[in-house]
Chain A
Amino acid sequence: MTTEATPPPDATPPTDATPPVAKDGGGGGAGAGPRALARQRRLRSVLRFWRQYRTHRAGLLGLAALVLFALTALTAPLTVGSDVAGVTGAPGRPLESPSGEFPLGTDRFGRDLLGLLVWGSRVSLLVGLLAAVLSVAIGALVGITAGHFRGAYATVMMRITDWFLVMPTLVLAIALATVMSRSLGTIVLAIGVTSWPTTARLVRAQTLAVESRPYIERAKALGGGHWHIMSRHVLPNVMPLVLAQTTLMISSSILAEATLAFLGLGDPTVVSWGGLLQEAREAGAVSSGAWWYLVPPGVAIAVVALAFTLCGRAVESVLNPRLGVAR
């Protein structure tokens, strides 16, 4: 659930490389029909993408870190289990400093902080991913439709986008999270619906560029409707941009989740990295100098956010060679 949704970098070498565009795969690969051809072409372009991606050292480093965190999060039920978050029957005394038994010490209830850190990665990654997917989905929808249907609809949509663009995103997200009930869904929604405008602008620009090409005119002349053009011609062309954007957006969503949780707007019943930091502050970890309570969650947030940023930048510079020099 957590990592299957991770965008393209993971679509490592051959076989499993099914780009998200390939929804029409119903026909199977038999024979050299148009679908098989299309599939081969996609496979080739994914391979080409991977060969270029491989040359970005920072991108590979980010990818490796992500795989590591994804594995940690996915195997957490086996390694630590949900008991680790239980307040009753905690194994240690409150605020023990790191020792052989508790490598990262204990929290204010005497729970094992290493276990909590591992368990918290599930929520932080999940919320980050879902919020980013929601945000990019809204952005892509608004961008493609605003680029396809010109006129009044586009004007109104772009006005709304511009308005959201100038709003301080986090303040709006905080306001939304305040008025809704405390839950993970609220956090995902609050981040998702406030951070889509940049994606919408990028996608719209790309849509306009694609729609000015002759083959779109040809498709229209052959009777292709709005839906056909948007889903079969525009979407595959903006998809790389959307994927790069998603990767970058996950990084800021994870930071935003941590921020909201730190402000006490998160779901109090689940463990997340931002929530751990909030608890640490409330428990007086700062004045008592309990650095082991504060350092690990922050490092985890920073490493994951950095890893997604590095991947996103690498994907971007592969897809947009003009940025190559800026790498």
Chain B
Amino acid sequence: MTADAASAAASAPAGAPGGPARGPRARTGASYLRYGAGKVGGAAVSLLAVLLTSFFLFRLIPGDPVKYMTGGRQVSAEQLAAYRREFGLDLPLWEQFTDYCRKALTGDLGTSYQFRAPVIDKITEALPNTLLLTGTAFVLYTALGILLGTRSAWRHGGLGDRLNTGLALTLYSIPSFWLGLLLIIVFSVGMGPVPGLFPTGGMESGGEEGFAYVVDVAHHLVLPVVTLVAVDYGQTLLVTRSALLDEMGSDYLTTARAKGLRDDLVRRRHAVPNALLPTVTLVFINLGRTVAGVILVETVFSWPGLGGLFYQALSVPDLPLVQGLFFVFAAAVIIMNTLADLIYPLLDPRVGR
């Protein structure tokens, strides 16, 4: 997986069209706009494809969706027909489809079977919680990965490097949900000498106001964030490390040393900024993995976010909700990738102009 993502990161800029060299002003203007428009257009097509996929994929399900709604209870034929009408399942497939597309464009993703509430409401309700969890973890694991990756590469082959890489690879191979469960056993339930330090799940204890509320949420946030960071920082570390190793033999570093710069300045001012370029793309691509991690971590820690909602929807299965969340997850990753594509040429003038 590390190698895949790295190569994906490497191939992304390579796929960008290299425009003819013009004056610096012309390059920053029209050509970048054209490049950006291409990327945004591609993303729009991808989003449309996701919308279509999520419609047809979840119509493939064998059996009658109404059966899931009634949960195996005995219901009369009239009631079943009423359910079908309520969710528009009595219409022919193509009518369901045009209906779906029209509603999706206005932000209506259907009605959840189990909550009897609009899917979009459930999603907007859970979204801030997921953003809080993912955002915190994202910032932390990116910073940690870059920091440790830089150190590892600068002293590569040494004991510190081998420990660092070994630990990163090990944590990378651990299933996130398992790590979460272990952390709960040790730090929430308490084990041996360790008392229960952190709450076992949820996002708040309830009843707190103001600053106490913030502290309470932060307290609940610790274990899920630790889990996500532990599982996800390895990839950033490995890519930063190999990107920096690629730069290590470069002439410009020798020049920098020759003019008398301290080792530490050579690293911070010269090597790292160049090595970070491929890492930027990867950081965004990594979000795809984080989305998967969030589903599991939220499930394990009963975090009231999109991932936990996805798990609840799966166990029914509550098709409109699964479908809506599938779209949200895919859209998040597509948008992040497009952002990476848009930012990259601004950072690295060799690409995409």
Task: Write the residues of chain A forming the contact surface with B, with a CB cutoff of 8 angstroms.
Answer: 58, 162-163, 165-172, 174-176, 178-181, 198-199, 201-202, 205, 244-245, 248, 251-252, 255, 258-259, 262-265, 274, 277, 280-281, 286-287, 289, 291, 294-295, 297-298, 301-303, 305-306, 309-310, 312-313, 316, 323, 325-326
Contact = CB atoms under 8 A, between A and B. Distances in A.
Interface in B313-334: 314-315, 317, 322, 326, 329-330, 333-334
Contacts of A297: 178
A244 B241 CA distance: 21
Interface string B299-320: 1100000000011001101000
Contacts of B182: 291, 294-295, 298
B227 interface: no
B175 A178 contact: no
B334 A166 contact: yes
Given A179-B57, A181-B62, A298-B182, A167 B330 contact: yes
A248 B169 CA distance: 12
A175 B322 contact: yes
B337 interface: yes
A286 B302 CA distance: 13
B178 A170 contact: no
Nearest to B334: A166
Interface in B60-90: 60-62
Contacts of A255: 173, 175
B184 A286 contact: yes
6 contacts: A175-B58, A179-B58, A251-B1, A259-B175, A263-B314, A313-B3
A297 B177 CA distance: 12
Contact of A170 (B57, B61, B245, B292): B292
A8 B72 CA distance: 50
Interface stretch (B4-12, B102-110, B208-216, B345-353): B4-12
Given A168-B329, A198-B7, A309-B172, A178 B314 contact: yes
Nearest to B171: A302
Given A286-B189, A287-B189, A289-B185, A312 B3 contact: yes
Given A174-B314, A251-B173, A302-B174, A201 B11 contact: yes
Contacts of A305: 173-174
Closest 7 pairs between A and B when the two form their complex, measured CB to CB: A170-B292, A298-B178, A198-B4, A305-B173, A306-B173, A179-B61, A168-B288
A259 B11 CA distance: 28
Contacts of A245: 3-4
Contact of A281 (B175, B181, B315, B322): B181
A301 B174 CA distance: 7
Given A178-B314, A178-B322, A263-B314, A248 B185 contact: no
Contacts, number: 159
B37 interface: no
B148 interface: no
B50 interface: yes
A31 B330 CA distance: 59
A121 to B, nearest CB: 15
B296 A262 contact: yes
Nearest to A278: B177
Tell me whether chain A's interface is mostly helix, strand or loop, or mixed.
helix
Contacts of B177: 259, 262, 277
B134 to A, nearest CB: 13
A326 B241 contact: yes
Contacts of A306: 169-170, 173
A121 B323 CA distance: 33
B164 interface: no
A202 B57 contact: no
B352 to A, nearest CB: 16
Given A262-B175, A263-B314, A289 B333 contact: no
A172 B317 CA distance: 15
B316 to A, nearest CB: 10
Determine chain B's interface SS by DSSP, over half rule: helix
B311 A248 contact: no
A277 B178 contact: yes
A325 B178 contact: no
B205 to A, nearest CB: 17
A280 B54 CA distance: 32
B40 to A, nearest CB: 14
B245 A326 contact: yes
A166 B175 contact: no
B151 interface: no
A289 B311 CA distance: 24
Nearest to B191: A289
Contacts of A289: 185, 189-191
Given A181-B62, A262-B175, 9 more contacts: A58-B166, A171-B326, A178-B58, A258-B178, A294-B181, A297-B178, A303-B173, A310-B169, A312-B3
Contacts of B156: 325
B112 to A, nearest CB: 15
A310 B49 CA distance: 37
Given A168-B329, A181-B62, A262-B175, A175 B57 contact: yes
B114 interface: no
Given A171-B291, A255-B173, A298-B182, A205 B11 contact: yes
Contacts of B190: 289
Given A167-B333, A201-B11, A248-B1, A286 B241 contact: no
A175 B325 CA distance: 10
A265 B314 contact: yes
B295 interface: yes
A291 B185 contact: yes
A171 B53 CA distance: 13
Contacts of A58: 166
